[in-house]
């Protein structure tokens, strides 16, 4: 039986908490007085500190404690939230990530520098003199000194009773950490209730049977107690009873045991609270509010949905098995179609239906919204704005568009290059924008939309646009084109993706070395995608990536050229026409067909693949497109649709641009998958040559 590594589980959950904290901090940069976001950041830091201490990441817990303290002061109104404080905690969060990934590394010097920046961000405000964050406080949070009881403050006394579910320790909850946090609030006496512990012969060591009663005296508000338990509300029982308010001199030096504690005075208010279970779909439990009676069991919200964390490798393995099943089903269908056995045909049709449904379900499991990709660029934009001095707004559209997780992973780096390029080359400094009659702040827009079997991801800015004269001059000086060579606007703009190409006047931290854009193109082409570039002088540029929704299984159109069979991705097919032998002979030397008052270039695949065979009498033209560009492919026969399990080409054939992969047919033979982008580009190039010659 496989057991999950608790440290690995913590790292995964910590990554999610980091994303939540970062998202909240970036939202705060636009609304520094947003109390909901301040509370959200505080809760995230609180969770990270507690979980880190629970799993042995003491350095992480100690460091996070100071960031949590800073936001606790903001939350209580002692200091205001400032852009400097947000920037300091963002930088501190990167350090926290390092403490999670390499807990045994030498991070002390970096941590002290960051704490100095954090301390300056807090102390730089007029109201920030009451409780400075000292670097000397770097220790485990449990060892932090309890807040001093000030004679001028009114002290509150509570009786707290709580119990956790039996499986709490198995799930990683350490009740001792909760007790330590209660001790930090003030003087307290803790008594463990052992009445529920079963006899030794039936005791399960991993199950929790203890409950606790705590008598707490503190100058902190009731909300501080709620915060201790805010992230362990699932099925736990909690009662908080307000006893009385007492003067500081009424507190004995040593507390008596809870059993001997004086009974509440007549003015005492009892407010037991029973925390309802939180639905598994919720990511952050709501704060407990005081109630006059426990919440009835039938009034608790029902769990609406549950989710299970599955390693990505298992999904990949399952996808491979589904692919093999699709191939086997294809073979079964071919055998059944040539058989007169009706029972065999019936079983074949049923298995085909089930395998199709399984394939569709599997594809949905692999799909993730592009919001998971777009969210990474909020922090990048924030940092680049501070670095360049530009005012930048990042706008995202179509975040719910779903793409295969493998595509998302491989698009991350290319999009980083494109966003950095838009900010550095595209957007002007504030003074230049104002002089051009624009607003001071520039906008970078990330958008995604689905078009057939593709997803189109665009990066658009409202900057100065691409300087075509500078691009041409750089291309000519680099030998990419001949001086005075005639190029279409699209071809000219595509030169920015040439290796080593850069129009930057000087090398900076952002750009100038000519490395990055060529990597973008190679990555997109490896995904069987294409890049389109448009630009308007003074109004900005747009780079669009056209990417297949998935890299695993696609619907294809199976065709025959000579004696070979090939697959055309069905998402790229617009229509099919018949091309008679007479029309084929009549169009030789021209290679155009008339399609609804427009001329469409076509390629004779028989000649392109050098089959050495004679054309069929009734040839077919399959019109394919990538966006606005279209080209026809002349084939001998259209066999029909085919569920295509994509297999990568071998290393010996990776340079063959005409094909993007291969698949196994029902009879066991191999069919090559045509690279639509390359073929459309070849057709357009052929069209340009014919027009130039004519």
**Domain ranges across the chain:** 6-143, 155-295, 317-368, 370-548, 553-693
CA-wise closest residue to 285 among 474, 548, 531, 39: 39
104 Cβ partners below 8 Å, 6+ apart?
A: none
Give residue 444's pLDDT.
93
- Tokens 């390092």 sit on residue: 98
What three-state secondary structure class fits 691? Answer: helix
Distance CA 96, CA 88 (A): 12
φ and ψ at residue 325, rounded to 5 degrees: -65, -40
Distance CA 562, CA 451 (A): 32
What is the mean pLDDT, run by run of 10 residues, along the chain of 694 residues?
Answer: 67 85 86 86 85 82 87 85 88 88 84 87 55 36 40 74 84 79 87 88 86 88 79 77 62 39 34 36 34 39 58 82 86 86 90 87 84 86 87 90 85 88 89 91 91 84 90 86 83 83 56 62 82 89 85 83 89 84 66 77 84 84 79 88 78 74 82 82 69 63
Q: Which CATH class is domain 553-693?
A: mainly beta
- Residues in a beta bridge with 541: 535
- Tokens 């607003």 sit on residue: 439
Give residue 590's pLDDT.
63
SS3 per residue for 165-209: CCCCCCCCCCHHHHHHHHHHHCEEEEEEECCCCCCHHHCCCCCCC
Distance CA 631, CA 311 (A): 42
Which H or E element spans position 367? strand 367-369
Length of the chain: 694
Give residue 272's pLDDT.
36
Q: What is the distance of C-alpha 616 from the center of its chain?
A: 50
Which two three-digit tokens encode residue 569? 């991705």
Give residue 231's pLDDT.
66
Residue 19: C-alpha distances to residues 11, 24, 44, 387 (Å): 12, 9, 9, 22
- Please give the CATH architecture assigned to the domain spanning 370-548: 2-Layer Sandwich (3.30)
642 Cβ partners below 8 Å, 6+ apart?
A: 330, 555, 556, 557, 558, 567, 663, 665, 671
Give residue 155's pLDDT.
81
CA atoms 444, 448, 451, 456: torsion sign:
positive
Which two three-digit tokens encode residue 441? 């702040």
Distance CA 597, CA 399 (A): 38
Long-range contacts, 174-183 (Cβ 8 Å, 24+): 174/54, 175/208, 175/210, 175/212, 177/50, 177/53, 177/54, 177/142, 178/228, 178/229, 178/232, 179/212, 179/214, 180/141, 180/142, 181/50, 181/228, 182/214, 182/216, 182/225, 182/228, 183/142, 183/146
First to last CA, the chain: 73
Where does 490-552 show beta strands of DSSP type E?
530-536, 540-548
φ and ψ at residue 145, rounded to 5 degrees: -65, 140
Give residue 120's pLDDT.
87
Going across the sheet that includes 564-569, the strands are: 637-645, 553-561, 564-569, 670-674, 659-664
Task: Name the pairing type of β-strands 670-674 and 637-645.
Answer: unpaired
φ and ψ at residue 389, rounded to 5 degrees: 80, 10
Would you tell me how many other CB atoms lie within 10 Å of the CB of residue 326?
Answer: 23
Give residue 24's pLDDT.
87
Residue 27: C-alpha distances to residues 18, 32, 38, 444 (Å): 14, 8, 10, 17
Q: What is the distance of C-alpha 239 from the center of its chain?
A: 39
Distance CA 621, CA 390 (A): 52
Residue 612: C-alpha distances to residues 282, 551, 607 (Å): 64, 33, 8
**DSSP symbol at 496:** G
- 155-295, CATH topology level: Alpha-Beta Plaits (3.30.70)
Under 8 Å between Cβ of 86 and 109: no
Give residue 566's pLDDT.
92
CA atoms 626, 490, 464, 522: torsion sign:
positive
115 Cβ partners below 8 Å, 6+ apart?
A: 63, 66, 92, 133, 135, 138
Q: What is the distance of C-alpha 302 from the center of its chain?
A: 29
Give residue 446's pLDDT.
93
Which H or E element spans position 573? strand 573-580
Distance CA 480, CA 487 (A): 12
Which two three-digit tokens encode residue 73? 């002061």
Which two three-digit tokens encode residue 71? 């936001």
- Tokens 């463990």 sit on residue: 192
Correct CATH for 6-143 of 3.40.50.150, 1.10.3720.10, 1.10.579.10, 1.20.120.160: 1.20.120.160
Q: What is the distance of C-alpha 125 from the center of its chain?
A: 35
């Amino acid at each position: 039986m496989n057991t999950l590594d608790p440290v690995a589980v913590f790292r995964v959950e910590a990554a999610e908490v980091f994303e939540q904290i970062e998202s909240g901090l970036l939202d705060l940069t636009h609304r520094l007085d947003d109390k909901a976001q301040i509370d959200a950041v505080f809760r995230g830091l609180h969770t990270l500190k507690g979980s880190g201490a629970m799993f042995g990441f003491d350095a992480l817990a100690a460091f996070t404690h100071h960031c949590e303290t800073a936001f606790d002061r903001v939350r209580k109104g002692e200091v205001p939230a400032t852009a400097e404080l947000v920037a300091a905690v963002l930088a501190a969060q990167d350090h926290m990530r390092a403490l999670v990934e390499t807990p045994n590394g030498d991070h002390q010097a970096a941590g002290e520098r960051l704490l100095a920046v954090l301390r300056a961000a807090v102390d730089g405000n007029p109201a920030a003199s009451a409780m400075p964050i000292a670097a000397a406080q770097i220790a485990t949070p449990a060892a932090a000194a309890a807040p001093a009881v000030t004679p001028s403050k009114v002290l509150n006394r509570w009786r707290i009773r709580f119990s956790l579910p039996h499986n709490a320790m198995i799930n990683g909850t350490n009740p001792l950490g909760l007790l330590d946090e209660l001790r930090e609030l003030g003087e307290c006496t803790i008594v463990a209730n052992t009445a529920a512990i079963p006899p030794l012969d039936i005791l399960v060591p991993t199950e929790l049977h203890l409950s606790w009663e705590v008598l707490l005296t503190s100058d902190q508000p009731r909300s501080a107690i709620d915060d201790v338990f805010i992230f362990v509300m699932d099925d736990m029982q909690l009662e908080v009873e307000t006893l009385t308010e007492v003067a500081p001199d009424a507190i004995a030096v040593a507390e008596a045991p809870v059993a001997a504690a004086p009974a509440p005075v007549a003015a005492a208010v009892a407010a037991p609270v029973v925390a309802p279970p939180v639905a598994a779909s919720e990511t952050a439990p709501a704060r407990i509010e005081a109630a006059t009676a426990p919440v009835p069991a039938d009034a608790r919200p029902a769990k609406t949905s549950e989710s299970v964390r599955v390693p990505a490798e298992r999904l990949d393995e399952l996808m491979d098995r589904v692919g093999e099943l699709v191939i086997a089903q294809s073979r079964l269908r071919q055998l059944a179609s040539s058989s007169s056995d009706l029972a065999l045909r019936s079983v074949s049709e049923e298995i085909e239906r089930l395998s199709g449904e399984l394939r569709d379900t599997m594809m949905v499991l692999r799909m993730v919204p592009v919001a998971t990709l777009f969210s990474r660029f909020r922090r990048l934009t924030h940092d680049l704005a501070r670095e360049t001095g530009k005012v930048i707004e990042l706008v995202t559209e179509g975040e719910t568009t779903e793409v295969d997780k493998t595509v998302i992973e491989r698009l991350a780096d290319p999009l980083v290059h494109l966003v950095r390029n838009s900010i550095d080359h595209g957007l002007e400094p504030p003074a230049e924008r104002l002089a051009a009659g624009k607003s001071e702040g520039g906008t970078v827009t990330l958008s995604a939309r689905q078009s057939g079997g593709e997803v189109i991801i665009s990066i658009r800015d409202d900057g100065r646009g691409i300087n075509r004269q500078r691009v041409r001059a750089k291309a000519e000086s680099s030998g990419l084109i001949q001086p005075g060579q005639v190029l279409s606007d699209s071809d000219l703009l595509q030169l920015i993706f040439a290796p080593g190409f850069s129009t930057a006047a000087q090398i900076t931290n952002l750009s100038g070395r000519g490395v990055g854009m060529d990597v973008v193109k190679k990555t997109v082409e490896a995904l069987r995608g294409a890049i389109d570039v448009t630009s308007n002088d003074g109004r900005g540029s747009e780079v669009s990536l056209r990417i297949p929704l998935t890299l695993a299984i696609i619907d294809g159109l199976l065709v025959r050229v000579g004696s070979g069979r090939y697959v055309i991705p069905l998402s790229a097919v617009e229509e099919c026409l018949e091309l008679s032998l007479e029309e084929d002979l009549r169009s030789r030397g021209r290679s155009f067909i008339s399609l609804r008052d427009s001329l469409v270039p076509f390629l004779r695949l028989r000649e392109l693949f050098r089959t050495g065979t004679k054309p069929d009498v009734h040839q077919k033209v399959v019109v394919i497109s990538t966006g606005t560009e279209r080209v026809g492919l002349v084939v001998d026969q259209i066999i029909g649709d085919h569920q295509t399990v994509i297999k990568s080409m071998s290393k010996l054939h990776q340079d063959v641009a005409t094909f993007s992969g291969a698949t196994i047919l029902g009879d066991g033979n191999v069919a090559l998958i045509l690279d639509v982008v390359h073929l459309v580009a070849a057709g357009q190039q052929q069209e340009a040559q014919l027009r130039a010659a004519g």
